[in-house]
Amino acid sequence: MKKEPSTGQDRSSSSYTKKLFSPHLKKRGHQRSMTMEEYRALCAHAQDHAVEFWGELAQRNLEWERPFTRVFNDQRPPFYRWFEDGVLNASVNCLDCHIGTDIEHKVAFHFEAEDGAPGQVTYRELLDRVCRVANALKALGVKKGDRVVIYLPMGVEGVVAMLACARIGAIHVVVFAGFSAKALHERIRDTEAVMVITANVQCRAGRQLPLKAIVDGALDMGGCDHVAHVLVHERTSEPWNSVDGRDGSYKEYVDGQSSFCAPEMVEAEHPLFILYTSGSTGQPKGLVHATAGYLLWAKQTMQWSYDIHPDDVFWCTADIGWVTGHTYVTYGPLAAGATQVILEGTPLYPNAGRVWQVIQKYAVSIFYTAPTLIRALIKAAGQDKDYAPEGYDLSSLRILSSVGEPIDPTSWMWFYQKVGHENCPYIDTFFQSETGGHMIAPIPGVTPLLPGSCTLPLPGIAAAIVDESAEELPNGKGGMLVIKRPWPALARTIWGDDQRYRESYFPEELGGTLYLAGDGAIRDEETGYFHITGRIDDVLNVSGHRLGTVEIETALIGWEEMVAEAAVIGRPDENTGEAVCAFVVLKHPIPTREEAEKIAHVLRQRVARDISPIAKPKDIRFGQGLPKTRSGKVMRRLLRSIVRGEALTQDMSTLEDPSILEQFMTTL
Ligand code: PRX
């Protein structure tokens, strides 16, 4: 172990926020994928010859059962179709295509259980497992186009379940295993799923959480009559409650199956999966991703963002419940034939040293994580030298990367210097559940790096910043991030709600053709590099988890006897990026502090119950009424200033009752 704890606070960020870092790649004769001039030429080609550009990428990246003859169909904007007469299968593109090559017997996953017990699976073995599960699904009546909900802990089994669905043309709906029974229920109902795949328990942070019991709770809420079967992976020997005729274990259904399953070939536009994400209004949105467009981008971005090579060991810490896990644990790395590390539970358990141990043990070369985890690592390293990266051999690393939140320049530099020794490009990737894969990210070895910036769009991605009248803004002027031209990886629609899709992402106010990301952004004056400044709608980003304020408000107001009104706002938080703050108006007189604490506890429990513990408000403030304009609109900007502790400089002449602000100054 090495001596000095590092804190990341040892230099002020301002001295390097403007400094560009060389894009060099260390290592082993890896050729640069292109030069900066070639990158610019490729972007220009993608703009001027989009059909040729995308057609070529789709041919090069994917194995087609029947090649497409038509690249793009824009007859019904914004519902674009890509490669539509082509036919393929996603699991073939992730597994079968490697059989008979050097990759067949290569490790696909090094798996580490929470207790540190290691395991590994080769591509050949993974294909066999996928086929067995796929055959079990078929034997239970699951057909092409059916929806299968996957509610599994992080592990190889989740990946297998996703690919088994893809193999038979079923549409997977992965629900993060931290979501509550109610959230799970909504997703099962909305998709009319025919099956749920789960585990008896989830091992996380030293605890065993009963997943199957949560599934039972969800199914008991009613309206889930389509669910004919629940398939249970027995992670431990812990008993679970089995409903006759509906539930069965892997042992019962999967183990005896053949390891051959002929893939169901599907049209390019066939939905590969539905993934729910929070929007600014109402229920979460079930984003529908199309097989070919999504997969081609998953694979291509592994090349551009990660310069992936056969000898790389790739570790993405994301859970398969999020888009990053879909694209950069399941589809992208497997399509690219990479060796990966996958960890059960959280990489910070039993302590932050586990991250460095895992990198050292498996000789991880590409490490992809979230700014929240980086901040936690910085903190832990500052507190205990055993958890500082200096104590470990991290020389295998060649690329560092993050996603999900803006990364502040100080944390960027800490990671770049202390972990990467200024030898590993830091790839800050901007993307969203909607976009399927990376949108704005530096290309390692090509794009000069700027701390805190995701730099420039990948070729084919026409990113721009516009004002409210859809006018493109010059560098240095902040506005709304949009994508000006269609690209194949964008989610095709919101499950069952084309209109909401159009209104959310292609609003008429911006002319109806620009994709509105929902983020604010600004381009650097000199370099034109993008800085993402955060959501411009009512979506919060807590530890990289996307949460809708309306969903949280709905959970709070759900306590009908107690709560009259609620408004939820985000405030900056040094650990989680953003924290949830709730302003609550009770139906009773303002409580004493003691009562208020009890009520706040129940409110947090209700949010955990209805959504997930991630969504629990950190701060709760009680008052007699929300600050509203005379026309009845909640003054959210004012609430934002309150939670940030800013002086209230807003015009309050329209505020109906200025005295109510006083009460909201106290936080619980
Ligand atoms: O606000 C942006 C933020 O995460 C949002 C997308 O969340 P989700 O669909 O859950 O996908 C997260 C993982 C891709 C975006 O609208 N975001 C994502 N990446 C970055 C980011 N904010 C700043 N910098 C990033 N690199």
DSSP string over 363-382: T-SEEEE-HHHHHHHHHHHH
User: Is residue 595 a contact partner of residue 560, using CB atoms and an 8 Å limit?
Assistant: no
pLDDT-based confidence at residue 646 (cuts at 50, 70, 90)? confident
Q: What does the pLDDT read at residue 30?
A: 62
Taking residues 406-411, report their average pLDDT.
Answer: 93
The rounded Å distance from CA 196 to ligand 1 centre is: 28
Match 């550009």 to its residue by tokens: 53
Q: Is 530 in the pocket of ligand 1 (CB under 6 A)?
A: no
Task: Give residue 27's pLDDT.
Answer: 62
CB of 278 shorter than 6 A to ligand 1 = no
In DSSP terms, 542 is beta-bridged to 545
Q: Give pLDDT, residue 651.
A: 74
Strands 266-267 and 339-343: unpaired
Could you tell which of 426, 429, 432, 455 is best to mutate to test the pocket of ligand 1, judged by most ligand atoms within 8 Å of the CB?
Answer: 432
> How many C-beta neighbours within 10 Å does residue 601 have?
12
Read off the tokens for 239.
Answer: 């008993």
Tokens of 92: 């073939």
Half-sphere exposure of 613 (CA within 13 A, CB side): 2
Q: What are 522's two structure tokens?
A: 């600004």
- DSSP output for 98-155: GTTSTTTTSEEEEEE-TT--EEEEEHHHHHHHHHHHHHHHHHTT--TT-EEEEE--SS
Tell me the HSE value of 611 on the side-chain side, using a 13 A CA sphere: 27
Residue in 322, 382, 303, 323 with CA at minimum distance from that of residue 314:
303
- pLDDT (mean) for 339-349: 94
Regarding the beta carbon of 432 and ligand 1, being less than 6 Å apart is answered yes
Cα dist from 374 to 5, 30, 267, 407, 490, whole Å: 15, 27, 40, 9, 28
Regarding the beta carbon of 454 and ligand 1, being less than 6 Å apart is answered yes
Alpha-carbon dihedral 278, 279, 282, 286, rounded to 10 degrees: -60
User: Mean per-residue pLDDT for 202-210?
Assistant: 92
- Binned at pLDDT 50, 70 and 90, residue 279 comes out as confident
Lowest-confidence pick of 311-315, 585-589, 628-632: 628-632
Pocket of ligand 1, candidates 546, 547, 612: which has the most ligand atoms within 8 Å of its Cβ, to mutate?
546
pLDDT digits (tens, 9 = 90+) for 412-448: 999 999 999 999 999 999 999 999 999 999 999 999 9
Tell whether ligand 1 has an atom less than 6 A from the beta carbon of residue 319: no
pLDDT digits (tens, 9 = 90+) for 81-122: 999 999 999 999 999 999 999 999 999 999 999 888 999 999
Average pLDDT of the chain?
A: 93
3-state helix vs strand vs coil in the chain, percent to 5: 30, 25, 45
Which residues are CB-neighbours of 178 under 8 A, at least 6 positions away?
Answer: 319, 321, 612, 613, 614
Query: Model confidence over 525-583: pLDDT tens digits?
Result: 999 999 999 899 889 999 989 999 999 999 999 999 999 999 999 999 999 999 999 99
Cβ–ligand 1 distance for 431 under 6 Å, the answer yes
Identify the residue with better confidence: 22 or 618: 618
Pocket test for ligand 1, best of 427, 519, 531 (most atoms within 8 A of CB): 519
Asked whether residue 481 carries a pLDDT value surpassing 80, the answer given is yes
C-alpha to C-alpha distance for 474 and 493, rounded to whole angstroms: 31
Q: Which of 456-470, 576-590, 634-648 has the highest mean pLDDT?
A: 456-470
Residue 370 beta carbon below 6 angstroms from any ligand 1 atom:
no
Please answer whether residues 89 and 268 qualify as being in contact, where contact means their C-beta atoms are separated by less than 8 angstroms. no
pLDDT at position 32? 72
The token duo for 293 is 């467009």
Burial of 339 (0-12, 13-18, 19+ CB in 10 A): buried
- Location of structure tokens 């194995």: 63
Cα(160) to ligand 1 centroid in Å equals 26
- The enclosing H or E element of 594 equals helix 593-610
User: What is the rounded average pLDDT of the residues 203-211?
Assistant: 92
Q: Whose CA is nearest to atom 7 of ligand 1?
A: 432
Pairing of β 81-82 and β 479-483:
unpaired
Check pocket membership of 191 for ligand 1, CB cut-off 6 A.
no
Edge-to-edge strands, sheet with 247-249: 247-249, 229-233, 195-199, 147-151, 171-174, 271-277, 285-290, 493-494
Residue 495 has pLDDT above 70, yes or no: yes
At residue 3, the pLDDT reads 32
pLDDT at residue number 13: 39
- 433 CA distance to ligand 1 centroid (A)? 8
Is ligand 1 within 6 A of the CB of residue 433? yes
Question: Which residue did the predictor score with more confidence, 590 or 355?
Answer: 355
CA of 431 to the centre of ligand 1 (A): 5
Taking the centre of ligand 1 as the mean of its atom positions, its distance from the CA of residue 534, in whole angstroms, is 8
CA-based nearest residue to 20, from 570, 455, 593: 455
Residue 166 makes CB contacts below 8 A (sequence gap 6+) with 89, 90, 91, 94, 172, 272, 291
**Cα 323 to ligand 1 centroid, rounded to whole Å:** 10
Q: Residue 289 and residue 292: Cα distance in Å, rounded?
A: 9
Per cent of the chain over pLDDT 70 is 97
How far lies 484's CA from each of 47, 120, 465, 505, in Å? Answer: 10, 43, 10, 12
Q: How far does the centroid of ligand 1 lie from the alpha carbon of residue 540, in Å?
A: 10
For Cα atoms 56, 60, 64, give the angle at the middle one, nearest 5 degrees.
105
Q: Name residue, tokens 């202390």.
A: 418
pLDDT at 5: 31
Calpha distance 70→49 (Å, rounded): 14
Place of tokens 């597994």: 95
Phi first, then psi, for residue 167 (nearest 5°) are -65, -35
DSSP H helices in 264-418:
291-306, 323-325, 332-335, 353-362, 371-383, 409-414
- The tokens describing 166, both together, are 């893809």
Mean pLDDT for the stretch of residues 185-213: 96
Tokens found for residue 201 = 């328990």
The terminus-to-terminus CA distance of the chain in angstroms comes to 41
pLDDT at 650 over 90: no
For 284, the token pair is 């979460």
Q: How far is the CA of 304 from the centre of ligand 1 (A)?
A: 19
Of all protein residues, whose CA lies closest to atom 24 belonging to ligand 1? 406
User: Is the link from the previous residue into 5 a cis peptide, with omega within 30 of 0?
Assistant: no
Q: What is the pLDDT of residues 3-59, one digit of tens each?
A: 333 333 333 334 446 789 887 787 655 667 789 999 999 999 999 999 999 999 999
| Rg of the chain over all Cα atoms, to the nearest angstrom | 25
Q: Which of 541, 545, 612 to mutate for ligand 1's pocket (most ligand atoms within 8 Å of CB)?
A: 541
541 CB within 6 A, ligand 1: yes
Nearest CA to ligand 1 atom 11: 432
What average pLDDT does range 606-625 have in this prediction?
94
Q: Could you tell me what percent of the chain has a pLDDT over 90?
A: 85
